[in-house]
């Protein structure tokens, strides 16, 4: 029968009766009478009588040989933390060698005590200076203030523009190549492929209702201020045809800070066309709706497709642009509000998600 008494208490009583001169049987009988079912077994009483007879005086549990005590203590936690701060790319094995504890102990310290994990750096367009961050905050605040005066009118007036390369062949992403297979069949394989050399520069102007105008740069032509200025004139004519009455409300043009857009000839033409250019900070694709909303969806659609020439590529891109529902374009522009707000909240740092 299992003894329900605490081990130290049980041994203390047995030793007391042993020193009183009781025999093992007498000790057992007295403890049985006093503790009832909680009393230790006769075999246990007899064994401890024998132990005390051989000279043992302590009733505490003796340390047992075997697994050593844990290497995790305050000192090792501090040492691991300091080692990581010296080199944030250090491996667990290197930390274990430095601190002279097991890799398992290092993992426990890192995750359970320091609450750290190892992650890859996030790619961002540029490491912004304090001045650039402040410029992003000011532009976001100015655009928000203009929007909040009359949100409906603001988006009715707004047209955004940007350029991007589209390729004759752009390899599909890893996620796109996922396919089902049987457990006993080998995984599929494919060769690593780079985007093709054949490509076309797309310029697209769009608003909350859809695409207003597109332009595909001809081969051998470079996009410059002199090339871009006539596009702004063509845009005005396209607005008259596709967005009747929009010119009279006044056009707000949102474009990035590319040298082409900021050239003297382009800005002069924008003023002549009556466009009001919204402020947009440099190095800020996260605040450009084409970059964070429009182009990613379009390029995902084009990935994995192969086009024999420019004409086939241009036809596919044009069809995709026309097939997108109005809500796609409306959501893209209205998400600017959250982006501007988040940019201000983050102190000018890049906005990774809405």
Query: Are 84 and 197 contained in the same domain?
Result: no
Share above pLDDT 90 across residues of the chain, in percent, rounded to a whole number: 58
Query: Are 15 and 93 contained in the same domain?
Result: no
CA dist 43 and 46 (Å) reads 5
* 214-261 pLDDT tens trace: 999 977 788 899 999 999 999 999 999 999 989 999 999 999 988 999
Query: Are 13 and 145 contained in the same domain?
Result: no
Output the pLDDT for position 1: 47
Residue 44 near residue 50, CB atoms below 8 Å: no
Count of domains forming the chain: 3
Q: How far is CA 289 from the centre of its chain?
A: 20
68 within a domain of the structure (yes/no) = no
118 within a domain of the structure (yes/no) = no
* 155-201 pLDDT tens trace: 999 999 999 999 998 877 777 667 777 777 787 776 666 666 789 99
At 64, the pLDDT band (50, 70, 90 cuts) reads low
Residue 186 near residue 151, CB atoms below 8 Å: no
62 within a domain of the structure (yes/no) = no
Region 71-80 average pLDDT = 86
Query: Are 265 and 175 contained in the same domain?
Result: yes
What is the residue range of 105's domain?
Answer: 74-113
Q: What is the mean pLDDT of the chain?
A: 88
81 within a domain of the structure (yes/no) = yes
Both tokens assigned to 37? 């079912």
Query: Are 240 and 315 contained in the same domain?
Result: yes
Counting Cβ atoms within 10 Å, is residue 328 exposed (0-12), middle (13-18) or buried (19+)? middle
Query: Are 284 and 216 contained in the same domain?
Result: yes
Query: Are 209 and 87 contained in the same domain?
Result: no
CA neighbor of 290 nearest in space, from 189, 206, 193, 165? 206
CA neighbor of 253 nearest in space, from 226, 232, 230? 232
* 274-305 pLDDT tens trace: 999 999 999 999 999 999 999 999 999 998 88
Residue 66 has pLDDT above 80, yes or no: no
Q: How far is CA 123 from the centre of its chain?
A: 10
Query: Are 270 and 310 contained in the same domain?
Result: yes
CATH assignment of the domain containing 12: 1.10.10
125 within a domain of the structure (yes/no) = no
Residue 96 has pLDDT above 50, yes or no: yes
Q: At what angle do helices 24-35 and 7-19 cross, to 10 degrees?
A: 130
SS3 63: coil
Output the pLDDT for position 69: 57
Query: Are 225 and 330 contained in the same domain?
Result: yes
Angstrom CA distances, 90 to 42, 93, 118, 327, stand at: 59, 8, 10, 48
64 within a domain of the structure (yes/no) = no
61 within a domain of the structure (yes/no) = no
66 within a domain of the structure (yes/no) = no
Residue 35 has pLDDT above 90, yes or no: no
Structure pTM? 0.68
Query: Are 107 and 200 contained in the same domain?
Result: no
CA neighbor of 235 nearest in space, from 265, 204, 210? 204
Residue 166 near residue 302, CB atoms below 8 Å: yes
Counting Cβ atoms within 10 Å, is residue 219 exposed (0-12), middle (13-18) or buried (19+)? exposed
CATH assignment of the domain containing 336: 3.30.420.10
Q: Give, for 214, the enclosing helix (H) or strand (E).
A: strand 210-216
Residue 61: strand pairing partners:
none
CA neighbor of 170 nearest in space, from 268, 302, 348? 302
CA dist 76 and 284 (Å) reads 44
CA dist 252 and 236 (Å) reads 12
SS3 163: strand
Query: Are 31 and 96 contained in the same domain?
Result: no
* 323-347 pLDDT tens trace: 999 999 999 999 999 999 999 999 9
Query: Are 81 and 201 contained in the same domain?
Result: no
């Amino acid at each position: 029968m299992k003894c329900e008494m605490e081990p130290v208490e049980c041994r203390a009583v047995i030793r007391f009766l042993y020193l009183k001169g009781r025999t093992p049987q007498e000790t057992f009988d007295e403890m049985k009478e006093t503790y009832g079912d909680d009393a230790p077994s006769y075999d246990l009483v007899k064994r401890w009588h024998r132990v005390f007879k051989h000279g043992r005086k302590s009733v505490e549990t003796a340390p047992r040989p075997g697994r050593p005590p844990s290497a995790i203590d305050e000192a090792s936690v501090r040492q691991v933390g300091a080692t990581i701060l010296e080199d944030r790319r250090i491996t667990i094995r290197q930390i274990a060698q430095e601190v002279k504890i097991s890799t398992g102990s290092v993992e426990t310290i890192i995750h359970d005590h320091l609450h750290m994990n190892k992650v890859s750096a996030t790619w961002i367009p540029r490491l912004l200076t304090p001045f650039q961050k402040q410029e992003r905050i000011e532009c976001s605040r100015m655009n928000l203030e203009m929007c909040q005066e009359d949100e409906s009118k603001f988006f009715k007036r707004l047209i955004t523009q940007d350029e991007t390369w589209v390729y004759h062949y752009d390899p599909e992403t890893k996620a796109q190549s996922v396919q089902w297979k049987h457990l006993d069949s080998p995984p599929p394989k494919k060769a690593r492929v780079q985007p093709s050399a054949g490509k076309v520069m797309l310029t697209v102007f769009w608003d909350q209702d859809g695409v207003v105008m597109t332009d595909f740069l001809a081969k051998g032509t470079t996009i410059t201020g002199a090339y871009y200025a006539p596009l702004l004139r063509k845009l005005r004519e396209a607005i008259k045809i596709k967005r009747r009455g929009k010119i009279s409300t006044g056009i707000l043009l949102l474009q990035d800070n590319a040298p082409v857009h900021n050239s003297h000839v382009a800005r002069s033409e924008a003023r002549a066309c009556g466009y009001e250019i919204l402020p947009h900070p440099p190095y800020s694709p996260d605040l450009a709706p084409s970059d964070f909303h429009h182009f990613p969806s379009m390029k995902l659609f084009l990935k994995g497709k192969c086009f024999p020439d420019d004409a086939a590529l241009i036809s596919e891109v044009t069809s995709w642009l026309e097939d997108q529902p109005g809500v796609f374009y409306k959501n893209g522009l209205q998400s600017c509000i959250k982006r501007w707000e988040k940019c201000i909240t983050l102190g000018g740092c890049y906005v990774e998600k809405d």
